[in-house]
Amino acid sequence: MITDYNFIVIEGNIGAGKTTLAKKISADFNAKLIPEEFAENPFLPKFYKNPEKYSFPLELSFLADRFHQLNKQIRNRDLFKSFVVADYYFTKSLIFAGNTLSDDEFALYRRIFNIIYTSLPKPDLYVYLHLDTHNLLKNIKRRGRDYEKNIKAEYLEKIQNGYIEYMKQHRDEYRFLLIDTNKIDFVKNPEDYDKLIDVIFNKKYKTGINRVILS
């Protein structure tokens, strides 16, 4: 795989398949994978049970973990890898925090975020996998994580809207590729996976929001 991109981000809502896609790209095209390390976060199960109490420590812990991981992994380039692919970007912290924190908490959180955000490299391509809420819920149920079983459609819709709003606000800074994957299954169908690879690597995109619907 020859690509002009050095750093690609695969983003999406909970259950969109971003980690699966990032892993497949890494394996198939000799890319360095940066997966989000969230499984060991002690606040995550507590947050899903009691969001009001645990939202602030959860978001702060994610902020610290994401910055540490991205800052280390992106800067330490592997000369034997073609490019870097991550299944999240640092701005994810701001999007989720905006939907879970109170106004006062978010104001403080944003101040901390802005201090460290500018020191991170920006992705060359920011891919967003878009799935409707009912399909997200199907995927969440299928993978069977106990701490995700109480996620509501309303919460997913807020997160989705947060991503869309973020892309609108930063369309002059990033090359966004918003891919509607509602009518494909790139996990089970190799042809659908090839379609995704084609639109990600074989097309040219300008700075702003570039929309693609796959079927």
Q: Which two tokens stand for residue 122?
A: 């920006």
What's the CA angle centered on 136, arms 37 and 10, to 5 degrees? 45
| Catalytic residue list contains 124 | no
H-helix or E-strand spanning residue 127: strand 125-130
Residue 177, beta-bridge partner list: 127, 210
Of 28, 78, 87, 132, the active-site residue reads 87
Other C-beta atoms lying within 10 Å of the C-beta of residue 120: 16
Answer for the pair 147, 45: CB distance below 8 angstroms, yes or no.
yes
Answer for the pair 179, 145: CB distance below 8 angstroms, yes or no.
no
What residues are labeled active site?
87
